[in-house]
Structure 1
Amino acid sequence: MARSAKNPGNASRDRILAAAASVLSEKGYSATRLTDIADVAELRAPAVYYYFASREALVAEVMIVGQQWVRKHVTEALDRLSPGTPALDRVCAAIDAHLRVELELSDFATAVTRNAGQLPLDVRTRVGHESAHYHAIWRTLIADGQADGSIRTDIDPRSARMLIIGALNWAPEWWSPARQSITVLISTAQSFVRAGLAAH
């Protein structure tokens, strides 16, 4: 079952959201059916429609919650760093937090990364605002690094941001804890990014 924050006032709705995140993270958007979600939530299918008008409405909320979960985890990791930490080190901390939340801590986060490209346009539009908030964190990290001298100024910051986030979001498609520890994955990702961004 998906791991998520609980809303004690609406346990059934939370169960549906968690079940939807679990099914989406395993099957993907195109193969996910409301009956599958109801089965995982241990509810009858009509109960899903009581809380969500359509499959698209449910998926949109799962995606928004997932993006909020990733953003919260990354923001908290950055807030724990000492003042004056170079921006490139902050980028590496964000990489660690992003990979851990999407691969270990939340089916919601995994559902986001695995399904973002499969969503119909209207659902993508609805979740785009939350995505913009997350990208703003990375935009600031790279801009701060170019300002403090820890990140190269001869690279395009937008391209760097999109390449990094794209690579991180692709990890659920191929990474398996049976083949590699998440610690090795994170250190490898940090090494690649540091080598590519570090000012010389």
Structure 2
Amino acid sequence: MVDRKITPTSKLGDQGNILSNAARLFRESGFERTSLKEIADACNMLPGSLYYRYSTKEALLVELMRRGVDLVTAEVESAYASSDDPVERLRLCINAHLRTLLVDSDAVYVLLFEWRALGPEAREEIIELRDQYESLWAEILETMIEQGVIRKNVDGRLLRLIGLGALNWVATWFDPNGAHSLDAIGDLIWQIAMDGVINKGVQA
């Protein structure tokens, strides 16, 4: 794992303003239903100024998705590095993924749910980036299996696919004003993992 330094959107000037507003509009209205003019209006800039930076809506979406991958990867890597306890690491990584998806970054939400809107060439690039992020989780889980923290008879690939699917699906129903906090949801998912796949005999 590498230590990634991601420049906050708020420090990117006009580019950050464009990315933040585009991500918010894509998340609220969907990629197909959002126009470049609407993004320009949200940024208080002329459409021509936006077209100068991003000639197509797809180019803007790809830039957002690249940033989304970098952000969620950096957050999960940071969570992993913050503890030496392999079981606690899993809890922290689960909560980092959920927090970035639902609180910290509209770009991550767009990455997960709008990639099908891309053309073939751009889609191939983003799928490759998404696969790089999933490989981070593959490394985390396979290490836990090798250490005996996760039971040896658990299929790491299947655990990753089901686990990330469950985490990402939270974005479709989570209500920030609802009865369950994001931390409570993350901790419940972690507890399910504890009860289902963690080898209790090797917990730190």
TM range, smaller chain = 0.7 to 0.9
Whole-angstrom CA distance in 2 between matches of 1:195 and 1:123:
40
Q: 1:192 to 1:36 in 2, by over 3 A?
A: farther
Paired residue type of 1:157: G
Post-superposition offset of 1:6 = 2.0
Instruction: Report whether the alignment pairs 1:42 with 2:44.
Output: yes
Q: CA deviation at 1:21?
A: 0.9
Q: How does 1:52-131 map to 2 (within 5 A)?
A: 52-82=54-84, 85-86=85-86, 88-131=87-130
- Alignment correspondent of 1:6: 11
Q: Moved runs in structure 1, 4+ residues, more than 6 A?
A: none
Secondary structure at the counterpart of residue 199 of structure 2: coil
Deviation track 1:158-195 (CA, whole Å, cap 9, x = no partner) reads: 11111111211121111011112112111111112222
- Tell me if the contact between 1:63 and 1:127 (Cα under 8 Å) persists in the aligned partners: yes
Aligned to 2:185: 185
Once residues 5 and 136 of structure 1 are traced to their aligned partners in structure 2, the CA distance between those partners, rounded to angstroms, is 29
Determine if contact 2:30/2:114 at 8 Å carries over to the other structure. Answer: yes
Alignment partners' CA distance in 1, 2:68 and 2:92: 19
Whole-angstrom CA distance in 1 between matches of 2:183 and 2:110:
22
Give the distance between the partners of 1:154 and 1:30, measured in 2 at CA. 44
In the other structure, the counterpart of 2:33 is: 31
Which amino acid in 2 is paired with 1:16? Answer: I
Aligned equivalents of 2:118, 2:170: Cα separation in 1: 19
Aligned residue pairs, count: 192
C-alpha offsets along residues 4-57 of structure 1, whole Å, 9 cap, x if unaligned?
A: 2522xxx22221111111111212222222122112111122222100121111
Amino acid at match of 1:17: L
Q: Could you give the per-residue CA deviations for residues 77-135 of structure 1, whole angstroms, max 9, x where no partner exists?
A: 111112xx22x432221101111111111222222233234444332212233222211
User: What is the alpha-carbon distance in structure 2 between the residues aligned to residue 159 and residue 30 of structure 1?
Assistant: 32
Matches of 1:198 and 1:117, distance apart in 2: 35
In 1, are the aligned partners of 2:115 and 2:126 still within 8 Å (CA)? Answer: no
Quote the Cα distance in structure 2 between the aligned partners of 1:123 and 1:196: 38
Aligned partners of 1:39 and 1:66: how far apart in 2?
A: 23
CA distance in 2, matches of 1:39, 1:195: 50
The letter of the residue matching 1:188 is: L
Shift of 1:140: 0.8
Counterpart for residue 175 of structure 2: 176
List alignment gaps of at least 5 residues for structure 2: 1-7
Question: 1:73–1:126: structure 2 CA closer, same or farther, 3 Å change rule?
Answer: same
CA distance in 2, matches of 1:119, 1:194: 38
* Cα distance change on mapping 1:135 and 1:15 into 2, 3 Å: same
Pick closer, same or farther for the CA change 1:104–1:116 going to 2, 3 Å: same
User: For residue 194 of structure 2, what is the amino acid of its counterpart?
Assistant: R
CA distance in 1, matches of 2:116, 2:17: 25
Does the 8 Å contact 2:150/2:199 carry over to 1?
yes
